[in-house]
Amino acid sequence: MRIKPKSPREALQPEVAPGPPPRSRHVRNPLVILTNMVISLAVFGFLAAGGVLYFGKQSFEKPGPLTDNATVIVSSGSGLSGITDRLAAQGVIADDWMNDLIFNLGVRFHKNEKKLKAGEYAFAPGVSMQEVMTDLVEGNAINHAVTIPEGWTTAQIIQRVKDNPILVGDITTSPPEGALLPETYSFTRGTTRQQIIDQMQKAQSDALAEIWERRVADLPIKTPEDLVILASVVEKETAKADERPRVAGVFVNRLNKGMRLQSDPTILYGLFGGEAWIRDRSGITRSQLQAKNPYNTYQIDALPPGPIGNPGRAAMEAVANPSRTKDLFFVADGTGGHVFAETYEQHQANVRKWRKIERERRQAERDAAAGEASGN
pLDDT band at 369 (very low <50, low <70, confident <90, very high): confident
What beta strand segments (E) does the chain contain?
Answer: 70-74, 119-123, 143-147, 184-188, 329-332, 338-341
Closest CA to 154 of 170, 174, 183: 174
Residue 317 DSSP symbol: H
> 318 with 251: CB under 8 angstroms?
no
Read off the pLDDT of residues 89-127 as tens digits, 9 standing for 90 and up. 999 999 999 999 999 999 999 999 999 999 999 999 999
At the fourth CATH level, the homologous superfamily of domain 70-138 is: Endolytic murein transglycosylase (3.30.1490.480)
Read off the pLDDT of residues 46-97 as tens digits, 9 standing for 90 and up. 665 566 677 778 999 999 999 999 999 998 888 999 999 999 999 999 999 9
Q: Which residues are CB-contacts of 232 (< 8 A; sequence separation ≥ 6)?
A: 151, 177, 178, 307, 308, 309, 310, 311, 315
Residue 56 DSSP symbol: H
pLDDT at site 66: 94
Q: Is 221 helix (H, G, I), strand (E, B) or coil?
A: coil
pLDDT band at 354 (very low <50, low <70, confident <90, very high): confident
**pLDDT tops 80 at residue 240:** yes
Q: What percent of the chain has pLDDT over 90?
A: 68
**pLDDT tops 80 at residue 23:** no
State the average pLDDT over residues 222-230. 97
Domain residue spans of the chain: 70-138, 143-208, 222-367
Q: Is 102 helix (H, G, I), strand (E, B) or coil?
A: helix
- Helix segments in the chain, DSSP class H: 8-12, 30-61, 79-89, 97-109, 129-138, 154-163, 193-213, 224-237, 244-256, 264-272, 286-290, 313-320, 344-375
Read off the pLDDT of residues 313-336 as tens digits, 9 standing for 90 and up. 999 999 999 999 999 999 988 888
pLDDT at site 368: 80
> 309 with 232: CB under 8 angstroms?
yes
> 323 with 252: CB under 8 angstroms?
no
pLDDT at site 268: 94
Q: Which residues are CB-contacts of 235 (< 8 A; sequence separation ≥ 6)?
A: 150, 151, 244, 309, 311, 312, 315
Bridge partners of 338, per DSSP, are: 332
User: Mean pLDDT for the chain?
Assistant: 89
Span between the terminal Cα atoms of the chain, in Å: 150
**pLDDT tops 60 at residue 1:** no
pTM over 0.85: no
